[in-house]
């Protein structure tokens, strides 16, 4: 339970960061 939540949270944060970075790069172009 704890490990699943931690891994899920880390994965979610990583996806959000990647999404923000990608959208920012697209806006620059």
What pLDDT score was predicted for residue 25? 79
> What tokens does 12 get?
């979610």
**Structure confidence at residue 1 (pLDDT):** 84
Q: What is the pTM of this model?
A: 0.60
* Helix (H), strand (E) at residue 6: helix 2-28
- Cα separation, 26 vs 29, in Å, equals 5
Residue count of the chain: 29
pLDDT digits (tens, 9 = 90+) for 2-28: 999 999 999 999 999 999 999 887 777
* pLDDT score for 27: 75
């Amino acid at each position: 339970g704890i490990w699943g939540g931690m891994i899920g949270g880390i994965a979610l944060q990583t996806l959000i960061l990647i999404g923000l970075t990608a959208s920012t790069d697209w806006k620059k172009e």
